Amino acid sequence: MRGRVRPTDYPRLPGPARFIADMVSDLDAGRSVLAVFPDAAIESGIADAVLDDAAREGVTVEYCVESDEHFPARVLNTFGSDSVLNRGYDEWDSIINWEPWHRSWVILQGWQHRDIGEIVERWPAQLKACGLSIEDRPKLLIAVSLNELSRKTISHIDRDCVAVHWWWGVFDRLDTETRLVATTQRRLNPLDTAVVVEVAGWDLECAEFLAENWDRSTGGLPHALMQYRESRSWTSGPDSPNNTDSYRVSAAPPAELENDWRAGLVDRWGLGIRSAPHTLGDKEVAQRIWMAHNRTLIPYVDEERAYFERVILRKASLRALDGMRRRDDDIIEIGSLAWLVSSRRVDIGKEARLRLQAFRDLRNDLAHRRPVGDKLLSKILGYLGIQ
């Protein structure tokens, strides 16, 4: 099995790259930035990796030094200033006029600075009172978890001066697919890829684990997820139900899911909110497998339907078609086509009949929101030439 995803791998993916680009855009436009991360992203080092990547985009960027001194004094120390020579600037009402840090970005990791609350409270007023042009203003890139700043405090920040970016919904399907293509040693066919992506969602480590350890059977997926759960020694799941479809998609995690988001157990992925795959029960796993099967295979069902409709209409007499149900748009459903053949009204040969019936059964499973069983799936993949 390959090693776990490194924190430095994340900024290279499309979603995190957009997150970083959005922060940089706000900084370039003259606003400071507050980035709110879940505890899990900070503990794993992902937040630090994201900040490092953002720092490479600035001309003058410094990480604020850690010390017990108040913020203005730390700014002077950050830029290596002589504290005696610049004594007149080491207060809140004067530090903004200290020219060496103008046009710069100063990064503060909130978990390393005990006065983040005071900084966030005072900084917007400081900017408005300074009289500096947008170009000359120093900008702060402040990263926090909800341990350092409450949700209420964040909601009251002056957005004209400070842009707020939540590490929420950063990943989507493209990120998981991109990671699989770049790292998976075993060859995945399109359906296997779709299943792994759908089941793992935003959990890239899970996606890699399944790609390397899942036996490719529908029945074997719950077992592979159990192995993944055991390999990471998780002992608890989310406080909230796994069914998160009822939550409205938003720019920040819903308050009801806040604790689960902080623990890395839930996130927005694409247009929906998803629980971590290792917390899912068999019913939820089956639902995700069906979603992958439906997304990947339903187009082939219609291709086969259209093909067999042409073949059967060329062979069938008007009498054979009598009594057959048609849709309002005159399209013949694949079930009706299979009925014409199985009732001996039209003969298309044994091999074609078996193929038609297989795709009819596939359509029935997908229509009833059932994952396709391994036996039928093997037939379908064989017909499609997918290995």
Contact 361, 376 (CB under 8 A): yes
Give the DSSP H or E segment for 105.
strand 105-109
Q: CB under 8 Å to 249, separation ≥6 — which residues? A: 169, 268, 271, 272, 273
Residue burial 262-301, b: 16+ Cβ < 10 Å; e: rest:
bbbbbbbbbeebbbbbbbbeeebbbbbbbbbbbbbbeebb
CB-count burial class (<10 Å; 0-12, 13-18, 19+) for 65: middle
Q: Domains in the chain, ordered, with CATH?
A: 7-166 (3.40.50), 173-280 (no CATH), 290-384 (no CATH)
Token output for 67: 């010390």
Q: CB under 8 Å to 386, separation ≥6 — which residues? A: 189, 190, 191
Question: Among candidates 341, 350, 349, which has minimal Cα distance to 320?
Answer: 341
Residue owning tokens 């409270």:
121
What span, in angstroms and rounded, lies between the C-alpha atoms of 313 and 318? 9
Q: What is the pLDDT of residue 248?
A: 63
- Parallel, antiparallel or unpaired: strands 266-269 and 139-144: unpaired
Contact 32, 141 (CB under 8 A): yes
Contact 371, 365 (CB under 8 A): yes
pLDDT tens, position by position, for the chain (387 residues)?
Answer: 344 689 999 999 999 999 999 999 999 999 999 999 999 999 999 999 999 999 999 999 999 999 999 999 999 999 998 777 788 888 998 999 999 999 999 999 999 999 999 999 999 998 888 888 988 999 999 999 999 999 999 999 999 999 999 999 999 999 999 999 888 777 889 999 999 999 999 999 999 999 999 999 999 999 999 999 998 765 455 554 445 554 567 889 999 999 999 999 999 998 899 999 999 999 999 999 999 999 999 999 999 999 999 999 888 887 777 766 666 667 889 999 999 999 888 999 999 999 999 999 999 999 999 999 999 999 999 999 998
What span, in angstroms and rounded, lies between the C-alpha atoms of 52 and 19? 13
Phi, psi of 166 (to 5 degrees): -95, 135
Residue owning tokens 């066919």:
189
* Whole-number Cα distances in Å, 336 to 135, 182, 189, 312, 380: 69, 44, 31, 11, 19
Question: Among candidates 35, 59, 9, 72, which has minimal Cα distance to 167?
Answer: 35
